[in-house]
Amino acid sequence: MRDFDICKFPTSSFLGTLTVNCFVMESNLEVMKTPSKLKQHCMILVSKGEGKFYFDNSLIPFTAGSLVFGFEGETFTTDCDKDVVYMYIKFSGNRAEELFRRFNITHLNRNFNGFDGLIPLWNESLCRASEQTIDLASESIILYTFSRLFNSNEQWNGLISSIIDIVEKKFDDPDLTLNVIAKQLSYNSKYISHAFKQKMGISFSEYLRSVRIKFAISLFDHGIESIKNVALLSGFYDPLYFSTVFKKSVGMPPKEYIKKNTRTN
């Protein structure tokens, strides 16, 4: 390890509740890139640089401020540049499983961005803790980080609800974009984009297109047969682009859908 790497191991822990194996600051590129099988769960906070984590076959991009969870039994490795530094705590026990369930941390919901504010706290706790107190410091960091994760999720829920509300009211405006909504809500568009995809499982643009196409289908179903009019009413400037999106979403072009709908009626 380099001189500024830190690795501390608790001498005691509360078995069966929350057991901390180690609290580490890692910057050694060779160590990062060497695959290892996780024997405990792992909470990782990136303090510098960017790259990709691999958990078995799952690829997780990260930047400074990313909070990522690894699970016991996974093979873990890192693909990054030489300037990356991250800290991690390995832990296990019944309390760990309870925390994962409470905060819905799963293999599909394991990475979170925007936790730069935790870096000084993690760093200070790791540096100051002695051999006798590293277990308490580690457990405190784990619990506090989960509490911050809860606050972040609450904030995301409110933000996502606001975005969905705006889309439902203004989807027929062809000028409605993520940047427009970000400006209206006073948020960074990249942050909103990440939050939306993290919460909804699809990108904002995919969601907006799906809302518009569903509305277009309802118009066709109610007897409107002008593709140009339906496109405009659904928030599309270009009828040709609308037809392309419609076919990709529905499986047939608008003309075919209209004919099929007419025959059915």
CATH code (residue 65) = 2.60.120.280
Residue 181 in tokens:
């909504």
pLDDT at 13: 46
Parts of the chain with a pLDDT under 70 = 1-16, 150-156, 262-265
Same domain, 112 and 141: yes
Same domain, 142 and 187: no
Same domain, 74 and 125: yes
Local structure of 56: helix, strand or coil: coil
pLDDT at 154: 59
Rg (CA), the chain: 24
Reported pTM: 0.58
pLDDT at 121: 92
CATH code (residue 229) = 1.10.10.60
pLDDT at 16: 47
Same domain, 120 and 199: no
Strands 85-92 and 19-26: antiparallel
What whole-number distance in Å separates Cα of residue 262 and Cα of residue 40?
60
Non-local CB neighbours of 177 within 8 Å, separated by 6+ positions: none
115 within domain boundaries: yes
- What is the DSSP track for 6-55? EEE--S--BTTTBEEEEEEEE--HHHHHS-EE-SSEEEEEEEE--EEEEE
Local structure of 60: helix, strand or coil: strand
14 within domain boundaries: yes
Q: Which of 117, 151, 185 is the last residue of a domain?
A: 151
Could you give phi then psi for residue 129, rounded to 5 degrees? -65, 140
Apex 212 CA angle, 206 and 217, nearest 5 = 120
157 within domain boundaries: no
pLDDT at 265: 56
145-179 residue pLDDT tens: 988 876 666 566 778 888 998 999 999 999 999 99
Same domain, 109 and 197: no
Question: Domain containing 25: what range?
Answer: 6-151
Using the CB atoms, write b or e for 12-22: b if 16+ within 10 Å: ebeeeebbbbb
Same domain, 121 and 43: yes
pLDDT at 156: 66
CB 63 within 8 A of CB 113: yes
The secondary structure element, H or E, covering residue 166 is helix 134-170
pLDDT at 151: 62
pLDDT at 4: 47
Short-list 6, 11, 18, CA closest to 146: 18
Q: Which of 122, 151, 180 is the last residue of a domain?
A: 151
Residue 69 in tokens:
């969870």
Same domain, 147 and 176: no
pLDDT at 3: 40
